[in-house]
Amino acid sequence: MSPNCDDRPDGADPELLVIHGISLPPGEFGGPEIEQLFTNSLDWNAHPYFEQIRGLEVSSHLLVRRDGEVVQFVPFTRRAWHAGESFFRGRDCCNDFSIGIELEGDDETPYTDAQYAALIGVIRAIAKAYPDITGREIAAHSDIAPGRKTDPGPAFDWLRLYDGIC
């Protein structure tokens, strides 16, 4: 579990899914660094890139690894610190009303079949638990933080996702 979360504001139930992409170090997959970042146990000296993110306290609700493994860091009832400064359909502070799903990947590397299968299954389950979340309430991190974020990037196949959840 991640300590990088807190209570949602009163009455703020999940109404939005935010899809992210992350790799640590950038462009490298399969290591423990993402989990270490989300649990505040990353060795900041283990890679030169980590100096740029030193002290960052972030998390997501879920991480979908390249092999389709799903790891939960924050319960959906709590606010994970995944979106940062953000805006969606006239509302800011998207962390208040969203569920963040990180995909292990980067903007340019295609995501795996296993990741799409896992993500589709997760979204279907979340939609059952939170009926306000439909395909129209799924956004990229880049959509809610334009100019600041680019993930999950052009390598993410939105049509494949929508075909799978419909």
Task: Indicate which residue of 35, 51, 85, 102 is catalytic.
Answer: 102
Question: Is 82 exposed, middle or buried (CB count within 10 Å of its CB: 0-12, 13-18, 19+)?
Answer: buried
102 is catalytic: yes
Token pair of 9 as six digits: 């504001």
* C-alpha pair distances (Å), 140 with each of 6, 31, 130, 149: 22, 24, 19, 9
Residues 129 and 89: their CA atoms lie apart, in Å, by 22
Residues 146 and 3: their CA atoms lie apart, in Å, by 27
Question: Which residues are the active-site residues?
Answer: 102
